[in-house]
Amino acid sequence: MFAGKSEELIRRARRALYAKKRVQVFKPAIDRRYDENMVVSHMGQKHEAVPVLDTCELESRLDPKTDVLVIEEVQFFDERIVDLAMALADKGVEVIVAGLDQDFRREPFGQMPALLCLADEVVKLRAICLKCGAPASHTYRMINGKPAHRDDPIILIGATEAYEARCRNCFELRGTKKRKPAT
Q: Over the stretch 28-78, which tens digit does the pLDDT of each residue have? A: 998 877 767 878 877 778 889 999 999 999 999 999 999 999 999 999 999
Backbone angles phi, psi at 33, to 5 degrees: -55, -50
CA–CA gap between residue 34 and residue 44 (Å, rounded): 9
SS3 81: helix
Q: Domain-by-domain residue ranges, the chain? A: 5-118
pLDDT at 51: 95
d(CA 17, CA 35): 21
Q: What class, spelled out in words, does domain 5-118 have in CATH?
A: alpha beta
d(CA 135, CA 55): 33
Strands of 1-98 (E only): list them. 23-28, 38-40, 46-48, 50-52, 68-71, 94-97
Whether this model's pTM surpasses 0.85: no
What share of residues in the chain are helix, strand, coil (percent, to 5)? 20, 25, 55
Close Cβ partners of 16 (under 8 Å, ≥ 6 residues apart) = 23, 67, 68, 70, 94
Which positions are catalytic?
Answer: 73
| Tens-level pLDDT at each residue, the chain (183 residues) | 577 788 999 999 999 999 999 999 999 998 877 767 878 877 778 889 999 999 999 999 999 999 999 999 999 999 999 999 999 999 999 999 999 999 888 899 999 999 999 999 888 889 899 889 999 988 888 777 777 777 776 676 655 567 888 999 998 887 766 555 555
Cα separation, 147 vs 77, in Å, equals 26
